[in-house]
A and B are shown apart, each in its own frame.
Chain A
């Protein structure tokens, strides 16, 4: 390990900068609105924050790990599982979120449906975000323990302390500013690794030569789940990942949608996910390629070997950190480690600020104390900030004692998230959908997901009710669960909506597609409209899919 004074200095400079950002933004925070929902950020900031909110360390480490495990097929998480949904959000859904003046996704549900649907979404989202933040913290502490030899408690105290200070002082804007800084750090911190890794392996031709063909094709081996290391077929991938999970996450998860909702205008809000899709398309070359290079180097015997766990199995999650330590000299290594640290911390900050908004607006203001002075809600938001971080710390410590808690939480998150897009799709595009339909649809989808998981098995997981079917991979099972949950929610929502009384059309103006005036891009050149940009992005994404088929 060659981590030296310069590396620690760069880490220290980063810590100073994030704290200064928090304090500089403090004077802008004069109200709860300024702390939680500042609608004045320019497009370039909201766009970068939009992708950064999904570029936490779990994603960065996870994508490199998946690159080494599944090959270029991992790019499906971007080219199938993200870009189309981001374009759809910008063109079709943002006008409702932004135009309705809702401050959060649950608040939109309250305007469109009713309070019980809002409460269900708000509570499940608040719980998920705060636990996700804890998982992020746990991951960071484990990484720092392994790489720097820092104790678990010191790592947690340092990271949580810094996040607490800058989110407490600068609120959502501070978290978003740090996400932008983190994005540039990730890109500049990892691109040199791709460059020297490719040099070592002999360029792209050398990479292809040292990997089995299945690792270098994203579609050719998708005919059958048994033919590829991911263990899924094309139908599962397109329906499960490309439709249900992707649209469910990118179009309804408040953590990412919030980044577009704080844009300064409707036009900027619509363009946020679309402009964000441009760098997102090319991120696989930054975060997945190091995993492929690591596997090729291991196969070639070129001085680097994929890390192993104590039991001799490959530790894919440590692929990226070990590559950084192997290739980078002291100095650049500090930048790489700072990038990882920044992504963990901004992942945590993003979750905590989203939790603050939902707790303050959708739980406290909606159900505990309405019509209080603004200063009161600002105090509540700041207390929620501290509580969110304390719960995250508790979750991180719980994870050390009950390792399965992380698997369990992620499983439950999946059950809750999968049906959400059906509710939004029906709510925005079918005016007949009722609050009762949405609420029971969501619950049915979640229950259907749990039952399906309990009735099927993959990689020794699930099957706690019976074993009706065995999947060849956990991912195949997860995608099938998503499809079942979405379908259950969709069908039950329609059935119950048909049996219950819908809202009057006058109440649905601005909330449902057929009852909303189409937003016109006044004075904007045709080539700068969200629709045109979206189409171009979809064409480029299709081209990438064809090139790496």
Chain B
């Protein structure tokens, strides 16, 4: 686990994962619409997708090197 988090992609993934979860939950619990869009929910989901990609790349790199 520690080896994984030496990869910057894992750090970035973890950060956007946490923030993405917060935004998604906020968007669901307290939906606020700006120009008709639930910005927290949409951005939260985008963050989660980006975080998943970053984490997958970090895991792939770790497996490749081990």
Contacts and interface: CB of A to CB of B under 8 A. Distances in A.
- Do A and B originate from a single complex? yes
Interface of A: 6, 9-10, 13-14, 17, 20-21, 24, 45, 177, 180-181, 184, 188, 192, 195-196, 199-200, 327-332, 335
Interface residues of B, number: 28
Contacts of B6: 24
B46 interface: yes
A330 B37 CA distance: 14
Contacts of B15: 13-14, 17, 181
B15 to A, nearest CB: 5
B40 A188 contact: no
Contacts of B32: 329-330
A259 to B, nearest CB: 14
B22 interface: yes
A21 B35 contact: no
Contacts of A192: 39, 42-43
Nearest to B41: A331
12 contacts: A13-B22, A24-B11, A177-B8, A181-B8, A188-B46, A188-B47, A195-B37, A196-B34, A329-B34, A330-B26, A332-B40, A335-B19
A184 B40 contact: no
B35 to A, nearest CB: 4
Interface in B15-60: 15-16, 18-19, 22-23, 26-27, 30, 32, 34-37, 39-40, 42-44, 46-47, 50
Contacts of B43: 188, 192, 332, 335
Contacts of A180: 8, 12
Interface of B: 5-6, 8, 11-12, 14-16, 18-19, 22-23, 26-27, 30, 32, 34-37, 39-40, 42-44, 46-47, 50
Contact of A181 (B11, B26, B37, B40): B11
B39 A196 contact: yes
Which of A177, A328, A330, A331 has the most chain B CB within a 10 Å cutoff? A331
4 closest Cβ pairs, A-B complex:
A329-B32, A199-B35, A331-B26, A331-B40
Which of B5, B36, B39, B46 has the most chain A CB within a 10 Å cutoff? B39
Contacts of A181: 8, 11-12, 15
Contact of B5 (A10, A24, A331, A335): A24
A418 to B, nearest CB: 35
A177 B11 contact: yes
B22 A6 contact: yes
A204 B32 CA distance: 25
Given A6-B22, A13-B19, A188-B50, A329 B40 contact: yes
B35 A10 contact: no
A335 B11 CA distance: 17
A335 B34 CA distance: 16
A6 B12 contact: no
A331 B27 contact: yes
Contacts of A24: 5-6, 11
A196 B37 CA distance: 8
B11 to A, nearest CB: 6
B27 to A, nearest CB: 7
A405 B7 CA distance: 41
Given A180-B12, A192-B39, A10 B22 contact: yes
B11 A21 contact: yes
Nearest to A198: B35
Contacts of B39: 192, 196, 328-329, 332
A177 B7 CA distance: 10
B16 A10 contact: no
Nearest to B47: A188
B36 to A, nearest CB: 8
A6 B47 contact: no
B41 to A, nearest CB: 9
B11 A17 contact: yes
Contacts of A177: 8, 11
Nearest to B42: A192
Given A17-B11, A327-B34, A6 B19 contact: no
A103 B11 CA distance: 28
B16 A184 contact: yes
Contacts of A196: 34-35, 37, 39
A331 B22 contact: yes
Nearest to A17: B15
A45 B15 CA distance: 17
A10 B17 CA distance: 12
B48 to A, nearest CB: 12
B53 to A, nearest CB: 12
A195 B38 CA distance: 12
Contacts of B46: 188
A379 B9 CA distance: 30
A184 B47 CA distance: 10
A45 B12 contact: no
A188 B37 CA distance: 16
Contacts of B22: 6, 9-10, 13, 331
A184 B5 contact: no
Contacts of A17: 11, 14-15
Contact of A184 (B12, B26, B42): B12
